[in-house]
């Protein structure tokens, strides 16, 4: 995106404040365009003849530096690429790295279906979000077109995840593609030996394609050839080599490609990048599966922080999946906005009117830690979550987001007095200095809890019920 502020975007809009986009002003719409929360097409007047030139220019200026490619269809379709920056603190990354886990066409059918179900249904709760996996990569190991097509068919019957079809044999690829051409699968891959046949297939079926070469000049040439032929949805794989100089060169190629696309504005290589950490298994093999999965995870870590927009992996063991997916969740959060939960009054367990009332901030990590410590220790209680702009307790106290007045407002807004009869609230230990002010402002009895919510059960042994409870 070559426009750095909403005001710059606003200059290309009609400026009529017609509200057809759902916003009260064109400037508000411009702000949401910059954040990709609105689409240009939602501004109906912009597409009238008198604004045609502005519309075309604005579309060009809003387009991300790296092309966005969509794989799959429906609710679980995956968008990759579409980035404007090299480093997340410059703005934010918009489309997180997609993780595709493999199956292969020599598997027994029931084993195949079971693995597909595990990949499809895997999830991990993390800071208020259910982390999930993104795609299934179907590998042709047999080299048999019919076997590959059968495998693709079985996979498609078991999952709605996007698919990556993996073969360098054009005949095998087309046989598999015939089974799922309506699901917009990603083709993997075209290289210098098969590009003509793959180009013909991709053009005919109109599906995204991966181009492979560790030679960046060759990769550039392939990308230019496919682009000139009208293929827009391209993914580049510069090779993932798991050891020694090969690993160092892999790292270098990814950085050079992303820098060329964003910093140098070289549109011929400004496409999403594919990494294949599964290559670790070529070195370590099934005989040393633990080491192989360990090194695969290391490669996935490198790919996540250095510009891989999609990765193909093998191990679906928890010790691999959890760090891979959790790191992506962390890297692809917006650094400009704290991760927060909605403020309000929560019930933990089955509280009564005499149950304790705890207070915390709406910073997601703080909230889920406190809630987990209460629920896991079976502390039936109420938890009032104050809007602190997503800041943790200590920072919110220091910054003035958590004050006696905001606590008073929360107690009144959520009608807490209708839930508990003891009029006692427990402040976190990190907010201890607000206790006196809070008593004065609210008229409630204030207790100061531990600094660490994990110590609440022991704290309750000495402090609950409070002396004020009748």
50: CATH: 1.10.15.40
SS3 210: strand
Asked if residue 225 has pLDDT above 80, the reply is yes
Mark whether 52 and 87 lie in a shared domain. Answer: no
Query: Do 300 and 208 fall within a single domain?
Result: yes
Please indicate, yes or no, whether residues 14 and 75 belong to a single structural domain of this protein.
no
Please report whether residue 83 resides in a domain. yes
Residue 337 falls within a domain, yes or no?
A: no
Residues 88 and 190 in one domain: yes
- pLDDT band of residue 128 (cuts 50, 70, 90) is confident
pLDDT tens, residue by residue, 426-440:
999 999 999 999 999
The b-or-e profile of 347-375 (16+ CB within 10 A means b, else e) is ebeebeeebbbbbbbbbbbbbbbbbebbe
Single pTM value for the model = 0.85
Q: Which of 277, 308, 331 delimits the end of a domain?
A: 331
Q: Return mean pLDDT, the chain.
A: 94
Provide the pLDDT for residue 457. Answer: 94
Alpha-carbon 443 to chain mean position: 44
Pairs from 199-202 (Cβ < 8 Å, separation ≥ 24): 199/225, 199/226, 199/229, 199/231, 200/170, 201/170, 201/173, 201/174, 201/177, 202/226, 202/231
Beta bridge partners of 361: 386
pLDDT at residue 1 is higher than 60: no
User: Is residue 384 within 8 Å of 362, Cβ to Cβ?
Assistant: no
Shared domain check, 221 and 364: no
Task: Say if residues 328 and 357 touch (Cβ distance below 8 Å).
Answer: no
What 3-state class would DSSP assign to 55?
helix
| Last residue of one domain, picked from the residues 331, 363, 388 | 331
Of 198, 200, 138, 147, the closest CA to residue 170 belongs to 198
Tell me: do 52 and 75 sit in the same domain.
no
Averaged pLDDT for residues 27-36: 89
What are residue 104's DSSP bridge partners?
Answer: 139
Question: Domain residues for 184?
Answer: 68-331
For 63-95, what is each residue's pLDDT tens digit? 899 999 999 999 999 999 999 999 988 888 999
Question: Looking at residue 211, which CATH number applies to its domain?
Answer: 3.20.20.20
Per the domain annotation, does 338 fall within a domain? no
Rounded Cα–Cα distance for residues 78 and 451 (Å): 41
Are 322 and 358 part of one and the same domain? no
- Mean pLDDT in residue range 36-64: 89
| CATH code where residue 373 lies | 3.40.50.11600
Distance CA 284, CA 297 (A): 13
DSSP state of 72: S
With tokens 């993104």, the residue in question is: 134
Are residues 199 and 231 part of one domain? yes
Residues 246 and 348 both lie in one domain: no
CB 292 within 8 A of CB 300: no
Is residue 227 within 8 Å of residue 266, measured between CB atoms? no
Residue 147 and residue 289 in one domain: yes
> Could you tell me if residue 132 is inside a domain?
yes
pLDDT at 470: 44
Number of structural domains (the chain) is: 3
Reported as a pLDDT band with limits 50, 70 and 90, residue 468 is low
- Is residue 105 situated within a structural domain? yes
The pLDDT confidence band at residue 469, using thresholds 50, 70 and 90, is very low
Of 282, 300, 331, the one marking the end of a domain is: 331
Give pLDDT tens digits for 330-378: 999 888 888 899 999 999 999 999 999 999 999 999 999 999 999 999 9
Q: Is residue 435 part of a domain?
A: yes
The answer to whether residues 133 and 221 belong to one domain is yes
113 in Cβ contact with 153 (< 8 Å): no
Residues 73 and 44 both lie in one domain = no
444 lies in some domain:
yes
pLDDT band (50, 70, 90) for residue 108? very high
Tell me, yes or no, whether 327 lies in a domain: yes
């Amino acid at each position: 995106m070559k426009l750095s502020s909403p005001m710059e975007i606003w200059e290309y809009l009609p400026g009529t404040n017609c509200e057809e986009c759902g916003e009260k002003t064109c400037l508000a719409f411009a702000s949401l365009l910059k954040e990709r929360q609105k689409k240009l097409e939602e501004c109906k007047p912009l597409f009238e003849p008198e604004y045609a030139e502005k519309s075309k220019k604005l579309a060009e200026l809003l387009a991300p530096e790296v092309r966005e490619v969509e794989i799959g269809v429906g609710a679980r379709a995956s968008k990759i690429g579409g980035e404007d920056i090299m480093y997340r603190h410059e703005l934010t990354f918009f489309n997180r790295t997609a993780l595709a886990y493999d199956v292969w066409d020599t598997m027994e059918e029931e084993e195949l279906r079971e693995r597909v179900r595990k990949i499809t249904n895997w999830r991990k709760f993390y800071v208020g979000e259910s982390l999930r996996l993104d795609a299934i990569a179907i590998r042709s190991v047999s080299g048999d077109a019919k076997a590959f097509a059968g495998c693709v068919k079985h996979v498609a019957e078991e999952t709605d995840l996007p698919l990556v079809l993996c073969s360098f044999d054009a005949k095998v690829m087309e046989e598999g593609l015939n089974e799922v051409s309506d699901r917009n699968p990603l083709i993997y891959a075209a290289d210098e030996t098969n590009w003509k046949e793959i180009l013909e297939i991709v053009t005919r079926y109109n599906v995204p394609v991966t181009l492979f070469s560790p030679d960046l000049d060759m990769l550039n040439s392939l990308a230019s050839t496919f682009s000139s032929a009208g293929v827009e949805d391209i993914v580049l794989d510069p090779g993932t080599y798991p050891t020694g100089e090969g690993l160092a060169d892999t790292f270098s190629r990814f950085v050079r490609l992303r820098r060329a696309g964003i910093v140098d504005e070289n549109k011929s290589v400004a496409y999403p990048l594919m990494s294949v950490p599964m290559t670790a298994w070529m070195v370590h093999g099934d005989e040393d599966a633990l080491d192989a999965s360990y090194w695969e995870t290391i490669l996935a870590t490198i790919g996540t922080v250095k510009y891989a927009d999609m990765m193909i992996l093998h191990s679906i063991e928890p010790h691999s999946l959890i760090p891979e997916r959790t790191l992506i969740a962390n890297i692809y959060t917006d650094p400009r906005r704290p991760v927060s939960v909605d403020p309000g009054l929560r019930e933990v367990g089955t509280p009564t009117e005499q149950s304790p009332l705890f207070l915390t901030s709406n910073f997601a990590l703080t909230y889920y830690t406190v809630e987990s410590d209460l629920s896991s220790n079976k502390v039936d209680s109420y938890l009032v979550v104050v809007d602190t702009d997503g800041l943790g307790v200590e920072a919110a106290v220091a910054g003035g987001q958590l004050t006696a007045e905001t606590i008073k407002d929360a107690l009144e807004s959520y009608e807490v007095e209708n839930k508990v009869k003891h009029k006692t609230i427990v402040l976190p230990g990190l907010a201890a200095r607000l206790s006196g002010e809070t008593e004065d402002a609210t008229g409630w009895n204030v207790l100061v809890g531990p600094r660490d919510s994990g110590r609440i059960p022991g704290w309750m042994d000495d402090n609950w019920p409070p002396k004020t409870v009748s």
